[in-house]
Amino acid sequence: MGSRRELLTAEESYGKRSSSEILEFGGTMKLLTQRVQLPSVLVWLCGWAWLSLPAQQTATPAPADQTASPPAPAPAPGSQEPASAPDDSKPQQNTDGTFTIQRTVRLVVLDMVVTDPKGNVVTNLSRESFHVEEAGQPQQIQNFEPAGAHPIDPQATIDSTADLDRLAPRAPVNIILLDEFNTRFEDMAFARYSLKKYLDRQPAKLATPTILIAVSLEKFTVLRDYTQNKDELLSALDHHFVAYSWQVQQGAWVGERYATAFVTLRRVAEAVRGHPGHKNMIWIGRGFPSLNFARVSADTQDHIESAVRSCLIMLRNSRITLYTIDPAGVMVNPSEYGGGFIADDPFGGNYQFDRLARATGGGALYGRNDVDAEIGTAIHDGSSFYTLSYRPSNPPSPADIKKFRRIKVTVDRPDLKVITREGYYPSTPPAPVDMQNPSRRLVTDLVAAEASTMVYDGVPVSLVPSPGDPNTYTVRVDAKGLVWSPGAGTTERQAEVILLVATFDSKGKELTRAAKTILAKAPPTEPDNGELKRGLDIQYKLESNPKAVRARFVVRVSSTGRIGTADATLGQTAGGVHAQ
């Protein structure tokens, strides 16, 4: 459709059927119609050409990053949205002639584990036992939840993301990720053995829903969606063939491996953002490739630090605590992972992945051969979190948006240790979308969502197939996922989304991809301000292709940056639609 804009009318799917809104379809996003693929262009999507090797594939560089830090919508109860820079609105004149300036400061939510001197988890502390400081100032605790506050109903059984969001929206979950792109083949084989050994000791029905993911340079694979069925996880593990990472063996493709690590963290954080419960992410592998920082420029180090900050914001927005487990155990020849390994810590010869884990309130486990016990430690800690929240008494100013806000939590008993995140970087809203020159970050996030089979639940999205045309669907965006701008005079309230649709063949190869902006305008009868609960129905017709067996619909809400997905099995009736 190019730059031409077209006005369409669609019936409102929530509320009164007599009302309607205008859907304005904008231009096509160029970079997404050029068939950008993961992982061959991860380096230039992330702007990391400084680590590329001559033998690697290259692509025309994307424009400079236009988006700000990851989005920060108003948090739902129990969410991990960090405080943002105060929203200083225009002064409002009062009836007595004075003016009032309103400032909005979001809650800071902390998940914490408390241990005694022997490392045992302590779960019987009260709210009065905890004390919080941010940027050196004491804070008043507003909400408090004891350890294990959201157990799953014993009668409920979680077997998918849809089950989790429907039956246990506040429950904690485990995300187990096998890092096959920075871990030697023999070490990953031992990691799989250790994970199987740990699962074998668990009951048939797990207490905590668990998702199992494997990542190589070529693929991001959900081996098993959230489940409490131990046997399902074991079966998925047995049927998965580990990717042989020759790049690790040869110390090659450093840029791709760095980019894959950061993109993997971002795509998981974005995918699980719609679930407000705490997530315990157990990364089994080395995280980053070997890179001795003494041999790289200051600009390179700054670039990695910037990526670390971005990941920290996204992990905290999604309420993820990261644990990294090194499956190599006690190493006889550490130089197998590269020369930089000897000089630095075990996680790929760099300090960042270790710091990343500790900054989220997790930790790095390495140098032991009982990897199964390390997995158990990480999972046990993840089920023993206290949660508290507060509104900063000294909120960050717009000038402090890039400064780290350090947090300190203590308890009355001096012999106890509180493990929580070290602080946060204030978030800013996402920048407006430029469809002709989209930012690298925007393209990376959309392509990652489209190429994944992981369910993204940041925006509730469902599909309704047309009864008369198997290639036509109504994409339904629930009102809970939309944010409508205020109206002003003759300007209607608006909500903008990006709709990306891709089809795949039976081997998972992408066949088609299209992306457009859609601007929805509410009827003028709606009030200019206040909460507006209106969803969207968007009709979409797929191109007929006999090779296509699956379609993925990706919706990104521009004002929040949140993403939702829905999948359809093509060539079937309504029963083949999987709406998540």
Which CATH number does the domain housing residue 372 bear? 3.40.50.410
Provide the mean pLDDT of the chain: 77
State whether 165 and 238 are in the same domain: yes
pLDDT tens digits, residue range 494-530? 999 999 999 999 999 999 999 999 999 988 888 888 8
411 and 509: one domain? Answer: no
In a domain, 1, yes or no: no
Nearest to 237 by CA among 287, 184, 180: 180
User: Is 298 among the domain residues?
Assistant: yes
366 and 378 in a single domain? The answer is yes
Statement to judge: residues 375 and 412 lie in one domain: no
CB 22 within 8 A of CB 11: no
- 83 and 41: one domain? no
- Host H or E run for residue 223: strand 220-229
Residue 547 included in any domain = yes
- Give per-residue pLDDT as tens, 364-422: 776 666 777 878 877 877 678 999 999 999 888 777 777 888 999 999 999 999 999 98
- pLDDT attached to residue 158: 96
pLDDT higher at 132 or 438: 132
Helix/strand/coil for 191: helix
On whether the pTM is more than 0.85, the answer is no
Residues 499 and 372 in one domain: no
Give a yes or no: residue 257 inside a domain: yes
CA dist 369 and 254 (Å) reads 27
CATH of the domain at 564: 2.60.40.2150
Number of structural domains in the chain: 3
Angle at 193 between CA 377 and CA 38, to 5 degrees: 90
Q: What confidence tens digit (pLDDT) does each residue in 438-458 have?
A: 788 888 889 899 998 999 999
Given pLDDT bands bounded at 50, 70 and 90, which one contains residue 428?
A: confident
Nearest to 389 by CA among 149, 67, 120, 102: 149
Range of the domain at 131: 72-91+103-148+395-427
Same structural domain, 175 and 264? yes
Q: How many CB atoms lie within 10 A of CB 191?
A: 25
- Within a domain: residue 111? yes
Q: Within a domain: residue 37?
A: yes
Residue 356: pLDDT above 90? no
Whether residues 292 and 179 share a domain: the answer is yes
Cα–Cα distance for residue pair 368/395, rounded to 1 Å: 42
The contacts found for 198-206 with CB under 8 angstroms, 24 or more apart, are: 198/372, 198/373, 198/375, 198/376, 199/230, 199/233, 199/234, 199/237, 200/234, 202/230, 203/230, 204/229, 204/230, 204/231, 205/157, 205/229, 205/230, 206/230, 206/233
Q: State whether 458 and 422 are in the same domain.
A: no
Strand, helix or coil for residue 301:
helix
Residue at 84 is within a domain: yes
- Looking at 383, 418, 447, the residue that finishes a domain is 383
Q: Are 488 and 443 contained in the same domain? A: yes
Which pair of tokens denotes residue 533? 């609960």
Identify whether residues 302 and 370 lie together within a single domain: yes
Token digits of residue 129: 């036992």
Verify that 418 and 366 share a domain, yes or no.
Answer: no
Nearest to 5 by CA among 30, 27, 21, 37: 27
Does residue 36 belong to any structural domain of this protein?
yes
Helix (H, G, I), strand (E, B) or coil at 243: coil
Read off the pLDDT of residues 153-190 as tens digits, 9 standing for 90 and up: 999 999 999 999 999 999 999 999 999 888 888 888 88
129 pLDDT above the threshold of 50: yes
